[in-house]
Amino acid sequence: MSTANTSDLAGSPDARQFLTFRLQDEEYGLEILRVQEIKGYSKITPLPNTPREVKGVMNLRGTVVPVLDLRARFGLRETEYTPFTVIIVVTVGTKIVGLVVDAVSDVLNVDPKEVVPTPDLGAGVDTSFLTGIARSGERLVSLLNIDRLVGSTGSALTV
């Protein structure tokens, strides 16, 4: 994992850091302060009668942690997990949740002036889990609201 725009952070006291990751051909960002750890994909125990995006639970040093597959959560096609597939362990309120993603990219320092609001895509498109789109050179990174993203999966995460 490399860092990007590190010098920009010193120039802007309001800059925030995001862990960026890939799903299919798109790049997303999570506030770095919400990330507890990144671990290689490991065995997940499936749970019956859960939504498609809930892969199951994993044992993280004695703690049972629910795991979501963000590809399924976003309605993307399933794919084989690769050596680059990782689980990003995040904190959501008092809960710890694992998020399966295709690969981690880097840490991105984002100046608030480089964040644009999520475009209005009409009534049929739910963008409530996005806080905005960050511009970094030619890159566009969709910034996720982890509380909305994980919280909207319902009671499946009350493990």
The domains of the chain, with CATH numbers, are 2-154 (2.40.50.180)
Q: What is the pLDDT of residue 157?
A: 53
pLDDT in tens, 82-114: 999 999 999 998 999 999 999 999 999 999 889
DSSP state of 154: G
Looking from the CA of 89 toward its CB, the CA atoms found within 13 Å total 18
pLDDT bucket at 128, cuts 50 / 70 / 90: confident
Which two three-digit tokens encode residue 97? 């949740």
pLDDT in tens, 41-51: 988 999 999 99
Run of H or E including 3: strand 2-4
Cα–chain-centroid distance for residue 136? Answer: 18
Run of H or E including 116: strand 115-116
Looking from the CA of 77 toward its CB, the CA atoms found within 13 Å total 4
Taking the chain, what is the end-to-end CA distance rounded to the nearest angstrom?
Answer: 30
Q: What is the pLDDT of residue 7?
A: 39
DSSP state of 118: P
Q: Is the pTM of this model over 0.85?
A: no
